[in-house]
Structure 1
Amino acid sequence: MSRKLPALLGTNPGAPFPDPETALREPDGLLAIGGDLSPRRLLNAYANGIFPWYSQGQPLLWWSPDPRTVFATDGVHLSSRFRRQLRRSDWTVVADRAFDQVVLACATAPGRGGHGTWITDAMRAAYSTLHAIGHAHSIEVLDGQGRLVGGLYGVAVGRMFFGESMFSGESGGSKVALAALARVLHGWGWPLLDAQVENAHLQRMGAQAWARPRFLAEVRRLAALPGRVGPWDAAFGLPAASLGTASGSEGHWAPV
């Protein structure tokens, strides 16, 4: 019996991707090889529940794993102990102030077991271009002196946000970025945040595992709705201490 192989993408960035339901079971979710990281190709991928993930020296690989790890934007959990700490915090959360710095921090953060190595120079350039055209966004956590202590970045298509990576320069920085993003998205009426692949840290914060058919149906619905293209800096300015209150997103992607 011949082994099933992933599809090979051509040079046309507007060509449709293969049906994600045809992705391999082993390795889980590998759908296609090749293509490019042009904005058109990337936005088409995300709108169909597909993302690129490969390491330096590998061909460009595209994935749609089953199950998919997601957060309900009103279901991000912060422990009671951590919320108490935040009430005394001088941290603030902003958006789109230091996109390239956040991506670089995600790529070079220590203690990630090599998981940042997939954020290659080509990936950084591609997402910087998406940021420039208003579809990729960074969430920054700043201390009282304005220093970056945590953050995340991802891609917005329609009313769907796809988290790519996050980091902590100080303990809890990425938790604050994720909780603040979820609170803002929930306020906008965006119900779902993609976290791609599960890990214990995400599960502790309230991540859910959705079967791929359910995830794809919801993504395609949300991606087709009017979104917020352009900078998000005016929508943030959230004190981290507000995440320690009993309201908002505290229900109940790479580690802190």
Structure 2
Amino acid sequence: MNERIMRHGFFLFLFFVLTRSGLAQQRIDNVRIRVTDSLELEVRYDLLEARPGDSIYLQVRSRLRGELFILPRFLRGDVGKRVLAGSDRRIVWNVLGNSYSLNEDIQATVLIKSPPPPPNLPKGKSRQEADQPGVAVGNRQRYAGPAWALLSVVAPGVGNMFVQTPRPRIGLRPLITLGCYGLIGYGLMERQKSLDVYDNYLDQKNIRAGEPYYQEANRHHQRYYLATRGAVLVTAIDVVLTFVRGLRNSRQPNQVSGLVLRPGLQAGQPTAVMTYSF
């Protein structure tokens, strides 16, 4: 490789700019470079300080072709995220595999990309608190408390959408609503069939003739019972899950408004105490 470069009058000019900001320049030092016999570019450097979320990457520009596109699969070593601080960090670029050659003037740059700073938060609130459900965004606040369980009583699955955090989630919950109302509708139809068949049973002149009608009316009644009780059970489960999730949301330190239900005691009898704030 070196003989070929000398024979054709080309030279390799490697200039490393350690930049992301002034601080980034102070965090990388002692950069060294060499070209291996296998047409790979090896970069060694010292990383004085590593911060969470930092990402180290290599940038190479050609005087003739501009910036060279480096495919990540041809890079290995101490590059990318989770690079630990220390001396003699190493990056290797397979130049030939990336379909480039080093018989021209190039400029190589080692950079540190730091994560963006967190958004401005209200005074006295941490980043963790800002990510909690019920925290105000700007001047608006979404209620995600237990009162949504009341909606689940009449529309199972719907109330549960609104207690999901950090935003409402639909998912398959509308199917719960359709399923419950479907069971109720099916049960009511079976009940009507049971009543109609039972009327036919009463019109029969003797028990023997009426027995088939009685058995059929009983089957329709059992289907009515199972369908309606199944709908009630699914609704009850959804109401409980919605209430528990909403209650947990309301106990977050930043939940300052909405309906809060809590147990109480009055005249020796257990009661439910409801508090609504706005």
Question: Which one has a larger percent helix, Structure 1 or Structure 2?
Answer: 2
Q: Which has the higher contact order (CA 8 A, sep 6+)?
A: 1
| Global fold match (TM > 0.5) | no
TM (normalized to structure 2)? 0.22
